[in-house]
Amino acid sequence: MVSDLFFDIVRFFLNPVFYIAIAAAIVLGYVRVKRERKMFRSRIVWGWTELVDLLRNTLLISLLLSVVMAGIGLTVPMEWLIALTAISFVMVLSGWYQMGSFVYLSAAAVALGWLFRRFGWDINVGPIAYEGLYINWEWLLPVALLTAGLLVAEGILIKKQGAPRSSPRLEKSARGLTAASFETKRLWLLPILLVVPGDLIASSTPYWPQLTIGETAFSFILFPFIIGFGNRTRKTLPLYFYPALGKSILSLGIAVLILALISFAWEPMALIAIGIAALGRFGLMIRSILRERGGLHAAAPQAQGVMILDVLPKSPAEKMGLLRGEVIRKINGLTVSNETELYEAIQVNAAHCRLEVLDHQGEVRLRQHVIFRHDHHRLGLIVLG
């Protein structure tokens, strides 16, 4: 019996979204490293970075949202969580992370639940029969608050991780020259403790602990929420693009949170808040795509110098503070205009390297570094040219 209890609880925690997210993160890392090795003969960051980032910087946010949701007794219906699981599963499998913002998933789960109940559809998933749910202000309010909270979390994560986690990729410019864009594809997992009303959990997992208040039963569950993000920049360097985008999403999340709170006084505002969140996030996505589609590449061949596309972690280049988009004009007193000349100039002085660099403001700065035997033979630079 103890064994049955253990496996019943374990089975409940084995949400398929959790495992498909882990698999997808591993695939993202593998594909990125394969592309980087093909284009630049070297991976830029560790191949398991996407998997590590799945939970990095999300646990504190998850704890805060758990305290708010479970601490003050805000409940979400299990039917909404079931629909959310199915939609998240499809999003992760599709690889279309541009539509992975939680606001899309949340709004789609609300719509799916309403459609099932409106047309009398039903589906059996193991011991659980899903029949959808009616629009009800009692559960829409916590869903709207949770949606706003996860939109704020998305803005923070993009602002913090968008730029350093973008990967350069070579492509042809309008003039037929080799230029570069920067691609970001990420999944984030937020385990959040929720309160779920009703006996749907008990009917499928009879040993699951429940709390009864009056005539209503409640259960605590730890649910894996997924946020997907995908974007490519070409006109703007990631250093400037992602903090601005993250700030815009963060501002939208705060606005949606205010609207969700208004629903305490006027209940229909909860549904309006979810709709505005989805439309606003979609508008930000379209705006970013249109802005980056036209114009010249920010990373393009230079008349004088070699442009830095990326810097390998813990390399001499990183220790010198070199940044993407900067242009190396001279190394050890020698003018360089391509990767071959850069490599040859480094070898002039194998013990000490001096660089003349043009920064993003067009100002010249000098950098130097003592090269040790274990350091990268090309300073850890990924360059264009």
The pTM is what?
0.89
Per-residue pLDDT of the chain (385 residues; tens, 9 = 90+): 344 334 444 544 567 888 999 999 999 999 999 999 999 989 999 999 999 999 888 999 999 999 998 878 788 998 999 999 999 999 999 999 999 999 999 999 999 999 999 999 988 866 677 889 988 888 999 999 999 999 999 999 999 999 999 999 999 887 888 999 999 999 999 999 888 886 544 444 444 444 444 445 667 788 899 999 999 999 999 999 999 999 999 999 999 999 999 999 999 999 999 999 999 999 999 999 999 987 889 999 888 899 999 999 988 899 999 999 999 999 988 999 988 888 888 888 767 889 999 999 989 999 888 876 555 567 889 998 7
For tokens 């993250």, name the residue: 246
The residues with which 213 forms a beta bridge, in sequence order, are: 216
DSSP element (H, E) containing 167:
strand 167-172
d(CA 252, CA 151): 8
| pLDDT computed for residue 126 by the predictor | 66
Q: What is the dihedral of CA 282, 110, 22, 30, to 10 degrees?
A: -30
| pLDDT computed for residue 214 by the predictor | 40
What 3-state class would DSSP assign to 368? strand
- The strand ranges marked E within 250-363 are 306-311, 327-331, 334-335, 352-358
d(CA 385, CA 383): 6
